């Protein structure tokens, strides 16, 4: 039987004659940090101080004892970052140049000093660029010349921390006769009958030995012979339970166990979990253009998505618990699709395991982003090898529903001046329209492939044409106000978003001692976007009077503006289902403490946008939309039951007077949207008025947590024109939280719980109370004791105020 021995212990990192203790898996930066050699690059300007680390060569070492008792011993690296030479007692075992691959070296009968010598990634990129020529990109650093996580070179939300190291597990594998080299379970289901076709490749140390395979799935067992080095076991499992995305059903997972046998003795075992479900991507042309709708088990879905970036710029630090926590946060916010963005990595098994269990659909980008990538050697072979390996590695996971060729490269070629600059040089098209779809079709024909995001399906239409395929909506934020989201109805919005600073406690930790201001040195350093602060400022100024010299107010308003921006997009687009079939917010998470588009900040704290997503992505969403024909109320119902109830409309003044009311009954069928015009006489006019719509319904339309009706609000004027009354409300400490009772209109009330205690969390984000309304904001991680805490709670509450 194959024996695997992890090589986790006894590694050292050589640094200027010192031998520092090294963590494996890990990386140079985290080892230097642990040894006290470098400051924390996440704090203050630490990033700049450690820039030298990426320019050096680094060596990891440990002893490797020679082993016996087996015919073959392999040294297996699941991941090396990136350009390395592996030596045993000075004798080269091999070289590596791809972070996205694993490596296996034959060390049979060998022992001695094992060293892994990493060259600087910059040395490699300079050599490859010298050989293949310059290629255009959205960023200055040379990430397109090396197969390494692109965003480690810096991004518009990420630091430039070019690390090196043994970033994934390493082990010895000792075996005799044969081992399982590659397993491809092709899983299909039809009328309740699950089929698993397990395609297996083996490696042999004995060419002649007779080999067999035995596999079990869901209690069904099957056998097959190995012919040469391949074999296929076919298993049919009757009455399988379907795996569904969350909100649509359960996530039953079936264990697959595959054993390689020689004379009925097991040589090697492979275990994974699979799920039975079908997936199609409907891209048929229709009267609106070309659709992009995911269909799972025959159900057409509006995808409630988020974009995922590496959760730490040093991905070796992200363990199973961290993945699970972050993805649980996504699921709790109502998310059902996570797009693993192409500037990052193929994530670890832990990521996809959590998605399988939580019912999160995964859209996986191949790691290419925002650049022209050369298609010549040595890159071409690396791209094909990494694609083959990762398609096979990830194919057991039912959560994985889509492979996508790249992020924004087809768009960049057409729109960002690359076409002219390239003058015929290769730029990656051959990967996205050639190599990658070929690899997916050959190895995993059960899954759809898209060439890129955005992409209209062919060069016939502009790659980012909203009417065809996927669209990235970035005019809003870069140049326009979020009201502009309403300008069109894309078929699928794969990226859109708005920036805001992280939670206050996160800033305090990241910028120790700094007197915080929007443009204080640390704030500027932790803002990586091109003219990021300018866009934040202009975005604010369109809605609010700028709070000069008041950082806390600026922080509150920018966070509210972020939540409102994303809400404007999602409410509009969801109200246009099924023409629009998905929104993927840029971005769920951060990889360090930074001002960014993220809903969850670099310390894992939830920004107001996060709580807003819970409302926006709930099965039932009520929204008021200003359309050409007038104000429209739309009841978006993504649940399997019809939603019928009564809608109460109240036209009000900001002083709290009710100007007019009406009640209508409505029904939104299962998985559909019902919209109806707001009567003209109820449309609010001018800066003093607004409309409140409350949906009361059966079966329960109410928010289970609060027992309130679903509410939508419409203010026709921007805040800086609205004559808000001085907000008055009472605050009381109640078990588990804070109770607020409004005596006036209190708009966008927000408890910044981390100001009470860095460990405190609020269970909701911004909310608007009408005079007389009361709400309890749940707070975890904080125990209120006395009157001083009530005062602290009041201090941590923000809301819209009259202009000064």
List residues binding ligand BMA (CB under 6 A): 155-157, 343, 369-370, 407-408, 495, 586
Taking the least distance from each CB to ligand BMA, the nearer of 369 and 799 is 369
Strands 303-308 and 254-262: unpaired
Distance, in Å, from the CA atom of 545 to the CA atom of 557, rounded to the nearest integer, reads: 10
Taking the least distance from each CB to ligand BMA, the nearer of 61 and 365 is 365
CB of 151 to ligand BMA, least distance (A): 8
Taking the least distance from each CB to ligand BMA, the nearer of 77 and 308 is 308
Q: What is the DSSP string of 482-500?
A: GGGGGG---SEEEE----B
Whether omega for the bond prior to residue 142 falls within 30 degrees of 0, making it cis, is: no
- What six digits make up the tokens of 553? 């107010």
Give the SS3 label for residue 614: helix
Distance, in Å, from the CA atom of 683 to the CA atom of 687, rounded to the nearest integer, reads: 12
Length of the chain: 804
Residue 219 has a CB neighbour count (10 Å cut-off) of 8
- What six digits make up the tokens of 425? 């040089």
Give the SS3 label for residue 3: strand
Q: Which residue has the tokens 């082990």?
A: 171
Q: Which of 408, 606, 683, 689 is catalytic?
A: 408
CB of 158 to ligand BMA, least distance (A): 8
Distance, in Å, from the CA atom of 598 to the CA atom of 582, rounded to the nearest integer, reads: 18
Distance, in Å, from the CA atom of 169 to the CA atom of 396, rounded to the nearest integer, reads: 20
Taking the least distance from each CB to ligand BMA, the nearer of 158 and 378 is 158
How far is CA 24 from its chain centroid? 25
What b/e readout covers 86-108, taking b as 16+ CB neighbours within 10 angstroms? bbbeeeebeebbbbbbbbebebe
Put residue 457 in one of left, alpha, beta given phi > 0 → left and psi -120 to 50 → alpha. left
Distance, in Å, from the CA atom of 226 to the CA atom of 367, rounded to the nearest integer, reads: 34
Nearest residue to 175 (alpha-carbon basis) of 264, 104, 72: 72
Distance, in Å, from the CA atom of 618 to the CA atom of 621, rounded to the nearest integer, reads: 6
Taking the least distance from each CB to ligand BMA, the nearer of 157 and 554 is 157
CB of 685 to ligand BMA, least distance (A): 37
Taking the least distance from each CB to ligand BMA, the nearer of 143 and 292 is 143
CB of 168 to ligand BMA, least distance (A): 25
Taking the least distance from each CB to ligand BMA, the nearer of 242 and 494 is 494
Give the SS3 label for residue 799: coil
- What six digits make up the tokens of 387? 């694609």
- Helical H segments across 304-408, by residue range: 320-332, 349-358, 379-394
Answer whether 118's CB lies under 8 Å from 83's CB. yes
- What six digits make up the tokens of 2? 């194959």
CB of 137 to ligand BMA, least distance (A): 11
Taking the least distance from each CB to ligand BMA, the nearer of 261 and 362 is 362
CB of 369 to ligand BMA, least distance (A): 6
Question: Which residues, in sequence order, are bridge partners of residue 58?
Answer: 118
What b/e readout covers 414-449, taking b as 16+ CB neighbours within 10 angstroms? eebebeeebeebbbbbebbbebbbebbeebbebbbb
CB of 610 to ligand BMA, least distance (A): 18
Taking the least distance from each CB to ligand BMA, the nearer of 78 and 408 is 408
HSE on the CB side for 268, CA within 13 Å? Answer: 23
CB of 407 to ligand BMA, least distance (A): 5
CB of 494 to ligand BMA, least distance (A): 9
- What six digits make up the tokens of 114? 């094992």
Taking the least distance from each CB to ligand BMA, the nearer of 570 and 750 is 570
Q: Which residue has the tokens 């529903």?
A: 401
CB of 370 to ligand BMA, least distance (A): 5
Distance, in Å, from the CA atom of 352 to the CA atom of 275, rounded to the nearest integer, reads: 12
Active site residue 708: no
Q: Which residues are catalytic?
A: 408
């Amino acid at each position: 039987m194959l024996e695997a021995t992890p090589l986790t212990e006894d590694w050292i990192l050589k640094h200027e004659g010192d031998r520092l203790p090294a963590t494996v898996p890990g990386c140079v930066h985290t080892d230097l940090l642990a040894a006290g050699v470098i400051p924390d690059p996440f704090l203050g300007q630490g990033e700049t101080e450690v820039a030298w680390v990426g320019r050096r060569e680094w060596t990891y070492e440990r002893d490797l004892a020679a082993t016996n008792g087996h015919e073959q011993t392999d040294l297996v690296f699941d991941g090396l970052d990136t350009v390395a030479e592996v030596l045993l007692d000075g004798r080269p075992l091999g070289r590596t140049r791809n972070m996205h691959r694993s490596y296996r070296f034959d060390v049979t009968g060998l022992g001695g000093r094992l060293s892994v010598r990493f060259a600087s990634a910059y040395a490699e990129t300079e050599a490859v660029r010298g050989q293949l020529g310059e290629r255009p990109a959205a960023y200055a650093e040379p990430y397109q010349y090396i197969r390494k996580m692109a965003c480690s070179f810096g991004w518009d939300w990420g630091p430039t921390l070019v690390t090196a190291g043994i970033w994934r597990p390493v082990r010895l594998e000792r075996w005799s006769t044969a081992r399982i080299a590659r397993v491809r379970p092709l899983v299909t289901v039809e009328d309740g009958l699950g089929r698993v076709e397990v395609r297996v490749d083996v490696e042999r140390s004995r060419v002649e030995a007779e080999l067999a395979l035995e596999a079990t799935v869901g209690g069904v067992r099957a056998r097959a012979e190995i012919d040469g080095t391949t074999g296929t076991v076919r298993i049919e499992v009757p009455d399988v339970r379907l795996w569904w995305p969350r909100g649509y059903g359960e996530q039953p997972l079936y264990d697959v166990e595959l054993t390689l046998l020689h004379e009925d003795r097991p040589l090697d075992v492979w275990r994974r979990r699979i799920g039975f479900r079908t997936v199609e991507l409907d891209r048929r042309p229709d009267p609106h253009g070309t659709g992009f709708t995911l269909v799972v088990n025959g159900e057409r879905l509006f995808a409630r998505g988020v974009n995922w970036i590496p959760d730490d710029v040093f991905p070796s630090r992200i363990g199973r618990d961290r993945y699970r926590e972050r993805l649980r946060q996504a699921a709790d916010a109502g998310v059902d699709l996570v797009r693993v963005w192409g500037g990052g990595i193929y994530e670890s098994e832990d990521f996809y395991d959590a998605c399988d269990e939580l019912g999160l659909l995964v859209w996986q980008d191949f790691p290419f982003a925002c650049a022209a990538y050369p298609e010549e050697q040595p890159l071409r072979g690396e791209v094909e090898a990494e694609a083959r390996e990762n398609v096979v590695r990830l194919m057991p996971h039912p959560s994985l529903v889509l492979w996508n060729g790249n992020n924004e490269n087809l768009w960049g070629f057409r729109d960002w001046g690359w076409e002219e600059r390239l003058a015929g040089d290769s730029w990656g098209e051959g990967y996205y329209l050639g190599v990658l779809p070929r690899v997916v079709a050959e190895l995993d024909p059960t899954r759809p492939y898209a060439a890129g995001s955005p992409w209209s399906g062919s060069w016939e239409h502009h790659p980012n044409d909203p009417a065809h395929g996927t669209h990235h909506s970035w005019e809003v934020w870069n140049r326009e106000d979020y009201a502009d989201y309403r300008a069109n109805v894309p078929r699928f919005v794969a990226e859109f978003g708005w920036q805001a600073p992280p939670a206050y406690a996160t800033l305090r930790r990241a910028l120790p001692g700094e007197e915080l201001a929007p443009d204080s040195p640390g704030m500027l350093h932790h803002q990586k976007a091109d003219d990021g602060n300018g866009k934040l400022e202009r975005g604010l100024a369109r809605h609010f009077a700028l709070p000069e010299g008041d950082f806390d107010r600026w922080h509150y308003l920018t966070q509210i503006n972020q939540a409102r921006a994303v809400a404007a997009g999602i409410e509009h687009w969801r109200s246009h289902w099924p023409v629009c079939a998905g929104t993927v917010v840029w971005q769920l998470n951060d990889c360090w403490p930074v001002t960014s588009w993220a809903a969850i900040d670099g310390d894992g704290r939830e920004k107001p946008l996060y709580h807003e997503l819970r409302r926006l992505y709930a099965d039932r969403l009520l929204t008021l939309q200003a359309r050409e024909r007038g104000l429209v109320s739309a009841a978006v119902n993504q649940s399997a039951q019809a939603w019928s109830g009564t809608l109460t409309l109240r036209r009000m003044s900001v002083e709290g007077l009710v100007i007019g009311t009406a009640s209508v009954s409505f029904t939104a069928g299962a998985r559909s949207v019902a919209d109806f015009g707001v009567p003209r006489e109820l449309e609010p006019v001018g800066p003093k008025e607004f409309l409140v719509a409350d949906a009361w319904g059966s079966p329960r339309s109410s928010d289970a947590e609060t027992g309130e009706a679903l509410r939508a609000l419409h203010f026709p004027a921007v805040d800086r024109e609205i004559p808000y009354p001085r907000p008055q409300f009472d605050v009381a400490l109640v078990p588990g939280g804070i109770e607020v009772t409004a005596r006036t209109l209190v708009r966008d009330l927000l408890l910044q719980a981390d100001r009470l205690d860095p460990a405190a969390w609020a269970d909701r984000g911004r909310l608007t109370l009408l005079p007389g309304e009361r709400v309890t904001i749940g707070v975890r991680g904080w125990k209120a004791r006395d009157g001083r805490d009530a005062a602290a709670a009041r201090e941590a509450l923000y809301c819209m105020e009259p202009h000064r």
